[in-house]
A = this chain, B = another copy of it.
Amino acid sequence: MLQQLYRPDLGLLTDLYELTMSHAYRENGMEQDEAIFYLYFRKLPAGWNYAIAAGTDLVAEYLENWRFSAEDVAYLGSLKTAEGHPLFTESFLNYLQRLRFTGRVDVLPEGELVFPNQPILRIQAPLIEAQIIESALLNLVNFSTLIATKAARIVQAAGDGSVLEFGLRRAQGIDGSITASRSAYIGGCSGTSNVLAGRLLGIPVKGTHAHSWVMSFDTEPEAFERYAKAMPENALFLVDTYDSIQGIKHAIAVGKKLRQKGYRMLGIRLDSGDLAKLSKTARKMLDEAGFPEAVIVASNQLDEDLIARLRKEKAPIAVWGVGTQLVTGQPAAAIGGVYKMAAIRKKGEDWQARIKLSENPEKISHPGQLQIRRFYENDIPIGDLLYDQLHGPSQTQAFGQKWDEGRDLLQPLLINGKRVQPPKKLSDIRAFSMRERQRFLQKWNGKTYPAKEEKGFAERKNKLIQRLSVQQNHAGKNGVQTKTNESAIMTN
């Protein structure tokens, strides 16, 4: 999708500090150091008890095509320090222009359930490559995961009804709309109004007419008749331009004429007012007029809470058109995904685990080569353990099962910078995600899923935190580098 959509090379889609750091890594002879980073979020918006991992296929596409064009490098060459000298050396600029992604990426399958503190992506790559790609990977995964999850929640609330994504006009930018359409489809939406997303991604597109159609004619009956004449097989009438009840009557009148000509009215759309009351009245009017098969579509600032309430009130709405709240992920608008270094390997040495401390325990990162093991009972997930593959598990059992009965979730996506999984069809990702979500909800709807740390991993992590705190205090007192005896580095 990115290659179809974007014209420039996207290497510069990064924060400047990734490049200044990379420049400095290289100046310090660390060009061949390797690092493990992982991408995860620390918590979910209030009331959300799962997320749907998404955007990883975009990451594969991004990394396979990751490069800096001559224009990019010329631009970087024009940047100056505060003193007016070039910010980057010629040598670094030449290096950048040759740079390609050569690392390994392990990911959750797109559409999989994921929980706080679990890696959606794990990168193992030369330090500089892993560093520069940080910003783009966060951008791609954060937004897609937010919208896929929001869509899943809305689709869940809609039950047997179907959900259409109508968000183009309120999305955050052009790509904001297209990536939202993609993610919403993964999360279970049935289609989109966005024609470009339909063309680029193969998502079913839906739509009939707006208020402006009705306003283009002197009266609503004329407007409906003219629409039906022009598009007799796509006749679904928006009835609230002036008055919804009158609009339903006008739709029924035109529906009868359509039927005489051998066509069928598909339904009506309600876009304002009391949707519970209006949909019940509309259903009754349509049924009594002989249109039991005509569907009622509803739109107007819908979200999962409003849909759940309307369904509780038995509103006979078959199709939900959801826009703003879906494509912007409100009220969250962003999943706070982060990308943290978990280990580093100097040339010729062993891996050293790394951790980011914080006064806020929630913000302490996780060290090692992380993997998630998920345990199932009759295909229903019953619990996860986060562990370090450099050490393996110390637990032999978990959630009443043997360790080997669980499944590792992170799977290789790129090795040596090349895809080892072909891109999946979006409709297959969607089907996989909906199946996993339905199984999960059988047991965990509204409950907290046990996504925990493996015992040995948790112990090593706590020891590392303690040692590192001691070391930092010592370094602080002396104002110098501390090493050797008090090293806080957990080697493999």
Interface of A with B (CB < 8 Å)? 2-8, 10, 12-21, 23-28, 30, 33, 35, 37, 71-72, 75-76, 79, 81-83, 85, 87, 127, 131, 134-136, 138-140, 142-143, 166, 168-180, 193-196, 198-200, 205-213, 215-216, 218-222, 225-227, 229-231, 233-234, 240-243, 245-246, 249-250, 253, 266, 272-273, 324, 328-331, 333-334, 336-337, 339-341, 344, 354-360, 363, 468-469, 471-473, 475-476, 479-483, 487, 489
Which chain B positions have C-beta within 8 A of A215? 341, 344, 354-356
User: Which listed residue (B16, B140, B199) contacts A205, Cβ 8 A?
Assistant: B16
Min distance, Cβ A306 to any Cβ of chain B, angstroms? 16
Interface contact A475-B220, CB-CB below 8 Å: yes
Q: What are 15 inter-chain pairs, A to B, with CB distance below 8 A?
A: A21-B212, A23-B231, A24-B209, A24-B230, A26-B230, A35-B212, A37-B212, A82-B233, A134-B210, A139-B168, A172-B173, A175-B175, A215-B344, A246-B476, A328-B328
The answer to whether residues A360 and B272 also contact, given A28-B229, A81-B233, A341-B215 and a CB cut-off of 8 A, is: yes
The 10 tightest CB contacts between A and B, nearest first, are A16-B207, A17-B207, A81-B233, A24-B230, A27-B230, A172-B172, A246-B476, A175-B175, A138-B169, A15-B193
Q: Which residue on B lies nearest to A170, using beta carbons?
A: B334
Pick from B139, B195, B273, B324: contact of A15, CB under 8 Å:
B195
Which of A168, A194, A340 is packed against the most chain B CB atoms within 10 Å? A168
Residues in B with CB closer than 8 Å to A334 are 170, 172, 324, 328, 330
Q: Complex Cα distance A483/B143, Å?
A: 50
Interface pair A24/B227, CB less than 8 Å apart:
yes
Q: Out of B200, B241, B250, B272, which one reaches A359, CB within 8 Å?
A: B272
Known: A169-B138, A173-B179, A360-B272. A12 touches B199 (CB 8 A): yes
Chain B nearest Cβ from A236, distance in angstroms: 9
Please state the number of chain copies in the assembly. 2
CB of A335, distance to nearest CB on chain B (Å): 8
A417 to B8, CA, bound (A): 27
User: How many Å lie between the Cα of A35 and that of B303 in the bound state?
Assistant: 33
Within 8 Å CB of A19, what residues of B? 195, 207
Given A173-B179, A242-B472, A476-B246, are A196 and B12 also a contact pair (CB < 8 Å)? yes
| Docked pose: A191 CA to B417 CA in angstroms | 33
Q: Is the beta-carbon distance between B35 and A216 smaller than 8 angstroms?
A: yes
- What B residues does A195 contact at CB under 8 A? 12-16, 19, 75-76
Residue of B nearest to A200 (CB): B8
Scoring A220, A336, A476 by chain B CB atoms within 10 A of each residue's CB, the highest score goes to: A476
In the complex, what distance in Å separates the CA atom of A328 from the CA atom of B327?
Answer: 12
Pairwise interchain contact A72-B199, C-beta atoms closer than 8 A = yes
| A249, B176: Cβ atoms closer than 8 Å | no
Q: Note all chain B residues with C-beta closer than 8 A to A246.
A: 472-473, 475-476
Q: Is the CB of A83 within 8 A of B233?
A: yes
Taking CB atoms, residues of chain B closer than 8 Å to A18 are 207, 210
Is the CB–CB distance between A170 and B142 below 8 Å? Answer: yes
Which residues from B are CB-within-8-Å of A330? Answer: 333-334
